[in-house]
Amino acid sequence: MHADLDRARATFHELLDSAGPADLGQPTNGTRWTNKQLLFHMLLGYLIIPALLTLAWLLSHLPASLSRAFARLLNVATRPFDAMNYWAARLAGNILTLQRMGRMFDCITAVLHRMLDSTRDSELARGMHYPTKWDPFFTDFMTVADIFRFPTRHFDFHRRQLTLEDGPL
């Protein structure tokens, strides 16, 4: 998992370094975001992981029925979540500089490395039920290890939707 974080971090910086001003405002392939907005959304996938890990730690210590009920409740709230997710990327993608996004990516990957280093193997197997309607990479039950893998799967998926340079990457 460390190698995946390092690869994503290096790739993110390559994308930021190679994106010209005209590229950033171009529409992406398959989303309603521009390239710059999608780059922020890719970063956001990492930024939410500490909160998801905390939630998984808490819910994994409670009866599984609570985790299932919570996931069902979140599935009901899919439309507001989708709207918030969309508008957050639009806003932040328009406000943040590429340099700031790069620093944020560096910071969050360092945090995730430390969290991963301090997580015991037995904790990696703990988990919780997830709202499967929120993201195609959320499964009904996700372990802590799955949560650590999630942002890079999300990143790789959206990387192919960028239209920097000569088209989708």
The torsion region of residue 167 among left (phi > 0), alpha (psi -120 to 50) and beta comes to left
What phi and psi values does residue 43 have, to the nearest 5 degrees? -65, -40
pLDDT tens per residue across span 115-142: 999 999 999 999 999 999 999 999 999 9
Question: Could you give the domains of the chain?
Answer: 2-159 (1.20.120.450)
pLDDT tens per residue across span 47-88: 999 999 999 999 999 999 999 999 999 999 999 999 999 999
Report the predicted TM-score, pTM, of the whole model to 2 decimal places: 0.93
